[in-house]
Chain A
Amino acid sequence: MDIVNFLIQLLNSMQYGLLLFMLAAGLTLIFGIMGVVNLAHGSFYMLGAYLAWSLASLTGSFALAILVGTILSVLFGLLLEWLLFRHFYQRDHLDQVLLTFGLIYVFEEMRSILWGDDVHGVAIPDLLSASIPLTDTLSYPVYRLFMSAVCLVLALGLYLLISKTKLGMKIRAGAFNHEMTQALGVNIKLIHAVVFALGVGLATVAGMVAAPVSSVYPNMGSQVLIMCFVVVVIGGIGSVKGALVAALLVGLVDTFGKVLLPQVAGMLVYVLMAAVLLFKPEGLFKH
């Protein structure tokens, strides 16, 4: 593999890693702050993709679709938290696993009833549809750069939110000690709702942004869910920084694995996870 090829593969792995990060960040936040494991996280990704498709077809504008879609999904996240999840913060992890597993079924069927089972495409907006030539045969799609940019901006935003704002401070306090934070007069219920909606929002935006590239189809959430879990485990549950590092690592292993070791490519990411766990049973970064 020559140097140009290597650099391009590096770019590929980074782009995939950043998308994974968007999803994993939501999952790890929800877990880290509220202690809820959510197997239905992949369903939010799917929801985002289907929203992007139906809204874009309805309005004809991808940008508008993302805007409206984000608002709708945040509202949906708030509703879901208020209706169901908030009653499960104190429950067993087992119950949470089961509840969210049941939700996967429900969401898939609702999707089937509302939007049907067919495959759909979402057109890349003209502004972003060009490709930048990198070698005489290969070009890099501008849209993928856009995706990576969106993920980076959101990652930065998340970092600033959590470490530099008052809200972020309250969130961190709530994660550290529930009762104390509440005793200090912070509306912990609101914090939880905000964090949950944030997690859902991140996952659905990931789905919306990825839709033109991945197409929109049934069960698209389950494929990405497992990877998400692996990223969270490697990074350390509750650590957003860990999720970023782990997602980039997984991107690297997946990308270079496919090219250099195709025989075992499917297993490589899990081998990576096993290796990390051997030395750091709680992931790379402790919460």
Chain B
Amino acid sequence: MKPLPSSRRAVLKGALAGVTATGLAVPEWALAQTGKIRVGLMLPYSGAFAPLGVAIENGVRLAINEQGGKLGGREIEWFKVDDESDPSKGIENANKLVQRDKVDVLIGTVHSGVQMGIQKVARDSGVLTLIPNAGIHAATRALCAPNVFRTSFSNSQPTLALGEAMVKRGHKKAVWITWKYAAGDEAFEGFKESYTKAGGTIVKELGLPFPNVEFQALLTEIAALKPDAVACFFAGPSGAKFMKDFAAAGLKGKIALYGSGFLTEGVLEAAGPAAEGVMTTLHYSDSLDTPRNKAFRLAYAKTFRAQPDVYAVQGYDTGLLLAQGLKAVNGDVNAKPALFKAMESAVIDSPRGKWTMSPSHNPVQDIYLRVAENGENKVIGVAAKALADPGTGCRMG
């Protein structure tokens, strides 16, 4: 048989080299010696949720820099992965940080579907995992874990505070409307419980397929039902569209509009006058008039040349929690029982107000009642004080 020509040999050599090269990684012993804490961020860096991902990361970094830029006295090595808001890649992307980059801490993410993937990796690997936004119930209920902490909210928390506020204002008959997906269903859970408990009646529960934004048909339906108020859960640009469509259909002024706070977060500019007077409940508001919030907003604006929002605050609190926890164990991220205990008993001095961890690792926090006025969400009171997520079905340890 003829010997292989040199070009072909080169190809073969290259192929074998290429295949083995990607398989080799830094050996375990080298990692432990560097002394840096490996923090992994899994956030949306592309697509519609990108601004949220950026805001969260900014918040995390601001908090840690204010604490001296170190965690428990150790320097930080950052790793980032774009989760693309794609649930089918959730596990793969989380493993990039946990298995490939061997992070000590995993921070993520925004989208609940992706969170399910992260939750699996977190539970299987035991890595300390902090959730800076996704409100999916299971993360601090049936699927809770000692190493998973949430610093944002659970999907029903904002709406659990909504019911009583509405009934107090005399709006006893309401129509609920949202998308038919997990976050919408969970938001409804909170609303249903609080509204009926306060004596309100839910006239009808309307839903449209996610992410459909053709509201006209359902607005016509609402007009025919003539309730006192409409309560809803929409987030992002769809929230702006809903408010605009609501107003354009002439319902504004005749039927009161309430919502989970995400309805008016980040979209007041886009919604314009249609948002005036809309009341929402959320665990934060840009206009919160406290020295803590003012200081935070100033620092954030100076550092990032942009205004912070609720997502930035959640990121900030994540940094605070992490810093506090690691300080208590002098940076030894492997001292898990002590670390978790420190985080469980932490009191976070957040721009949203002080809050603590519930037994299932979700924030116990005040929910504010806000009204949209002149392009900002003005706080008019506390709709629910120290509200905790029930953590049903959570079994830790």
Residues of A at the B interface (CB closer than 8 Å) are 1-2, 5, 8-9, 12-13, 15-16, 108, 112, 117-121, 123-124, 131, 133, 135, 137-141, 143-144, 212-220, 223, 254-256, 258-259, 262, 265-266
Contact = CB atoms under 8 A, between A and B. Distances in A.
B237 interface: yes
Contacts of A137: 223-224, 226, 250-251, 254-255
A262 B217 CA distance: 11
Contacts of A16: 214, 216
B241 A214 contact: yes
A9 B220 contact: yes
3 closest pairs, A vs B, by CB?
Answer: A139-B250, A121-B270, A266-B209
Contacts of B236: 119, 217
Given A137-B223, A255-B217, A258-B208, 14 more contacts: A117-B47, A117-B51, A119-B270, A121-B240, A121-B271, A133-B250, A138-B224, A138-B251, A214-B213, A215-B244, A255-B216, A258-B209, A258-B214, A266-B212
Nearest to B219: A138
B218 A259 contact: yes
Contact of A215 (B50, B206, B237): B237
Nearest to A8: B220
A91 B46 CA distance: 32
Contact of B249 (A13, A140, A254, A265): A140
Contacts of A214: 213, 241
Q: Indicate the member of A121, A133, A135 with the most B CB atoms within 10 Å.
A: A121
Contacts of B389: none
Nearest to A133: B250
Contacts of B267: 119, 121, 215
A265 B208 contact: yes
B217 A121 contact: no
B378 to A, nearest CB: 20
A214 B241 CA distance: 6
Contacts of A256: 217
Contacts of A123: 272
B266 interface: yes
A217 B237 contact: yes
B76 interface: no
A235 B207 CA distance: 28
A214 B377 CA distance: 22
B180 interface: yes
B15 interface: no
A138 B51 contact: no
Contacts of B221: 5, 259
16 contacts: A9-B220, A108-B47, A119-B236, A119-B270, A120-B270, A121-B240, A131-B248, A135-B223, A138-B249, A139-B250, A144-B216, A213-B248, A215-B237, A216-B237, A255-B217, A258-B209
A219 B216 contact: no
B386 interface: no
A131 B213 contact: no
Q: Indicate the member of A133, A137, A214 with the most B CB atoms within 10 Å.
A: A137
B249 A259 contact: no
B397 interface: no
A5 B51 contact: no
A2 B220 CA distance: 12
Contacts of A254: 214, 217
B250 A213 contact: no
Interface string B191-224: 0000000000000001111011110111111011
Nearest to B270: A121
Interface in B21-73: 46-48, 50-51
Contacts of A140: 249-250
B269 interface: yes
Contact of A138 (B212, B238, B250, B266): B250
Contacts of A216: 237, 270
A38 B46 CA distance: 23
Contacts of A139: 248-250
Given A121-B269, A137-B226, A219-B48, A262 B207 contact: yes
Contact of A213 (B50, B223, B244): B244
B245 interface: yes
Q: Indicate the member of B220, B240, B255, B266 with the most A CB atoms within 10 Å.
A: B220
Nearest to B54: A117
B201 to A, nearest CB: 18
A170 to B, nearest CB: 38
B237 A138 contact: no
A220 B164 CA distance: 36
Contacts of A15: 216
A268 B221 CA distance: 19
A265 B236 CA distance: 22
Contacts of B207: 262
A58 B334 CA distance: 55
A119 B217 contact: no
A256 B238 CA distance: 21
B273 to A, nearest CB: 9
